[in-house]
Amino acid sequence: MDFWDTIADDACRESMLWQAALRPGPAREHVAGFSTLCDERFALGLETIYEGYLCHYGRPRLFAPADAELALLLGDYLYAHGLVRIAAAGGVAAVDAMSKLISRCAALRAEGAAGDSDAWVDAARELGGTPHPDEVALAVERHSARVAA
């Protein structure tokens, strides 16, 4: 599945604001976050939520919001859309795992504490992932390069 086009196309259909924030095709980065660590059926939802997280706290791969307010709104849209995808793929338990992830990461960010990559890895495991340590290390490395300190 091409996550990137699905995430981008759905957002553009939803709002002209998201369409305006979309990076031009060659400027989009098609680099997985933590979706390689979870069960495949949750991958699109997890990537959608992760792109929302990057809108809030880092450098998004698909979007370049014009300002902080738009980044926050787009991030919230992507969180919600990702949760819909997670619910469709796995029901209440999967949505609960994602809500705990979002809450945990928000708390860590508010406190200025480290550990958000651990939260993402834990959530991927809750979504049926049994990643190899090398996969985890690569995902954490990619994440560290994208998030704001």
pTM greater than 0.85 (yes/no): yes
Residue type, 107: A
Alpha helical stretches, state H, 1-127: 3-14, 16-21, 43-57, 68-111, 116-126
Percent of the chain with pLDDT over 90: 93
pLDDT at 3: 87
In the block, residue with structure tokens 């959608």? 48
How confident is the model over 56-89, as pLDDT tens digits?
999 999 999 999 999 999 999 999 999 999 999 9
Cβ(47)–Cβ(54) below 8 Å: no
Whole-number Å distance between alpha carbons of 117 and 33? 10
Mean pLDDT (whole number) for 4-8: 95
How confident is the model over 37-63, as pLDDT tens digits?
999 999 999 999 999 999 999 999 999
Partner residues linked to 63 by β-bridges: 22
- For residue 48, give the nearest of 39, 38, 35, 64 by alpha carbon: 35
